[in-house]
Amino acid sequence: MKIVIVSLLFIFSVLLGGDEIMKYNELNAEEERVIIHKGTERPFSGEFYSYDKSGTYLCKQCDAPLFNSEDKFDSNCGWPSFDDEIDGAVNQIKDADGVRTEIICNNCGAHLGHIFAGENYTDKNIRHCVNSISLNFIPEKPKFETAIFAGGCFWGVEHLFKKVEGVTDISVGYIGGDNEDPSYKEVCSGTTGHAEAVKIVFEPEKVSYEELVKLFFEIHDFTQVNRQGPDIGKQYRSAIFYTNEDQKETAKTVIKILINKNYSVATSLVEASKFWDAEEYHQDYYNKTGGNPYCHIYKKIF
């Protein structure tokens, strides 16, 4: 009888608003067993049972936000546990056994698990016991990110990036070589493999990594190999040292734009290794000396 009722409800919902159903995510057989037919995954087997990253948990079927990571706690019950929900995201209905209370997604009705009270795990005294398989996860966007660029003498690169709104900190140093904690004299010898570079801490909400990459190409001559103006040597090479795969793909996209504009791009794209801070007298050099960059001039390209 229950199957018949569900089938009838499905038919009516298709007739009344079938377009909405088509927007739901496709489920595999195991996901459907839990989410649609109210099954339960094996304890301690779920992806998010001991997951501790910051972000938001979403409904696997419709992507509606359900729980925040800050409300997740370890109950040692075998399933992810939350002592709170996002307002209005979860609905409670009496379970078929007449004892427990089921929780479902308030947006699409997907089965999530059950809710329990009075166990004293947390001050809120509530436990949403949720199947991992009912959830997706979106990590929290970092408030700050790091970008590393090498474009000739690091004094000029630093000076021009310091003017960008959203850049909260910038330092000059060395990266890409073999020597540990190299000195300026060692790097200038050309034997360390390091490049003079800048490490930039920025707020993605104020300035995007793509904007920084484009500015990087607009403040130095990226067509030159192992030099920048009068400065010659591998330590003055043009390079982007990416810190994650998103940065890598963004940089590749910008480089393709330059190639399509008929530029010859000598800039290398390298996974970031350890960045070694340069000596203190190199930091914020032009503000200290009152000088101006001698081989870095802004040229609009994009």
Indicate which residues carry an active-site annotation.
Answer: 129, 153
Please tell me the distance from the alpha carbon of residue 114 to that of residue 95, in angstroms, as a whole number. Answer: 9
Q: At what angle do helices 209-218 and 245-260 cross, to 10 degrees?
A: 40
Nearest to 49 by CA among 18, 74, 21: 74
